[in-house]
């Protein structure tokens, strides 16, 4: 179900570029922007599902390393949504040098292009799940110390700092949204991007659910509709803050997520597979969201079980598998 138009701002005629427009967040965001009247260009590799992309969205194929293609895509744009990343939080083999060269240095080159193209604002998809690292207090506010324990989180934090530098040096407006664990339609179960997508896919296929560690780590889950609406508000926000958390403000253990998925899919009682824990997984991550709810009209509106069921129904329809 699309985001209710009363809950997000209109962007009629605003020229918007989405870097990483073919992914889970990118397609959902592109479609929402088109519904709100924006003139949307999406850039990236081939979309995960081209049929899911609104026909009003202009698609540009290319790689982040292709400076000429990016320069062309950025020309004439007012707002840029930077969603691109070559790595994911749960990568089993972290490669800090590769992450730095591709994501951080690539973003610096891209910010130079945005500055030359007179882009008005960059909205960056940062990571509330990784930039803080192990925290002493929960929920975690934007003012909390940042001690990421993954190359992914270090890279996201570095990009935030460089955005602040470009704002200081050149006046480039930006807002970094630190996103919790997003889930919902169009998320791939094959790219290590989401425990919900992976578990639902396994449950619908009749396979045991796989859990890293004991299953007692706690995460903040936010439906993609709520993430997208936060990006739309970020496009129009003119307040003093440059970094905001986007989450539900509540936590669920991975074991609870598994139990809820088993209940919705009618697979309760089946065996689970517990694998060795990962070094990049912090024990608890719950985001404090009072800043964004105070500064904008945004609120998380999709309740967990409602969002989980709708996601399961979407995936079941895609797989032609009945939801029990």
**Catalytic residue list:** 152
Contact status, residue 280 vs residue 222, Cβ threshold 8 Å: no
Whole-angstrom Cα distance, residue 95 to residue 87?
9
Handedness of CA 315, 235, 248, 151 (dihedral sign): positive
Contact status, residue 85 vs residue 91, Cβ threshold 8 Å: no
**Helical pair 195-204 and 304-319, crossing angle rounded to 10 deg:** 50
Hey, what's the torsion of the CAs at 127, 130, 136, 141, to 10 degrees?
Answer: -10
Contact status, residue 184 vs residue 224, Cβ threshold 8 Å: yes
Whole-angstrom Cα distance, residue 46 to residue 34?
19
Token pair, residue 101, equals: 């060269």
- The residues facing 179 across adjacent strands are 127, 246
What counts of helices (H) and strands (E) characterise the chain? Answer: 10, 13
Judge residue 293's burial from the number of C-beta atoms within 10 Å of its C-beta, 0-12 exposed, 13-18 middle, 19 or more buried: middle
Residue where the block lists tokens 């986007």:
246
Whole-angstrom Cα distance, residue 167 to residue 18?
20
């Amino acid at each position: 179900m699309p985001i209710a138009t009363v809950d997000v701002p209109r962007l009629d005629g605003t020229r918007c570029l989405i870097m990483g427009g073919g992914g889970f967040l990118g397609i959902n965001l592109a479609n929402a922007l088109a519904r709100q009247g924006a003139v949307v260009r999406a850039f990236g590799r081939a979309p995960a599902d081209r049929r899911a992309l609104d026909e009003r969205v202009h698609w540009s194929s290319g790689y982040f390393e292709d400076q000429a293609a990016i320069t062309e895509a950025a020309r004439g744009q007012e707002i840029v949504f930077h969603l691109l990343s070559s790595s994911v939080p749960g990568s089993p083999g972290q490669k800090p040098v590769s992450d730095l060269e591709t994501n951080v240095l690539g973003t610096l080159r891209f910010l130079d292009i945005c500055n030359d193209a007179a882009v008005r604002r960059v909205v960056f998809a940062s990571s509330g799940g990784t930039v803080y690292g192990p925290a002493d207090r929960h929920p975690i506010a934007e003012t909390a110390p940042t001690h990421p324990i993954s190359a992914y989180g270090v890279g996201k934090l570095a990009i935030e700092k460089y955005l602040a530098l470009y704002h200081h040096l050149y006046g480039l407006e930006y807002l970094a949204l630190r996103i919790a664990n997003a889930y919902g339609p169009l998320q791939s179960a094959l790219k290590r991007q989401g425990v919900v997508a992976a578990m639902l896919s396994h449950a619908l296929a009749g396979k045991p659910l796989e859990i890293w560690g004991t299953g007692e780590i706690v995460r903040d889950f936010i439906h993609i509709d709520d993430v997208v609406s936060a990006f739309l508000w970020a496009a129009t926000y003119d307040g003093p803050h440059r970094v905001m958390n986007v989450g539900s403000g509540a936590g669920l253990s991975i074991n609870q997520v598994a139990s809820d998925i088993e209940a919705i899919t009618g697979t309760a009682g089946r065996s689970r597979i517990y694998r060795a824990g990962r070094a990049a997984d912090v024990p608890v991550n719950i985001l404090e969201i009072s800043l964004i709810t105070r500064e904008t009209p945004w609120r998380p509106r999709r309740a967990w079980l409602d969002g989980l069921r709708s996601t399961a129904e979407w995936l079941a329809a895609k797989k032609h598998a009945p939801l029990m």
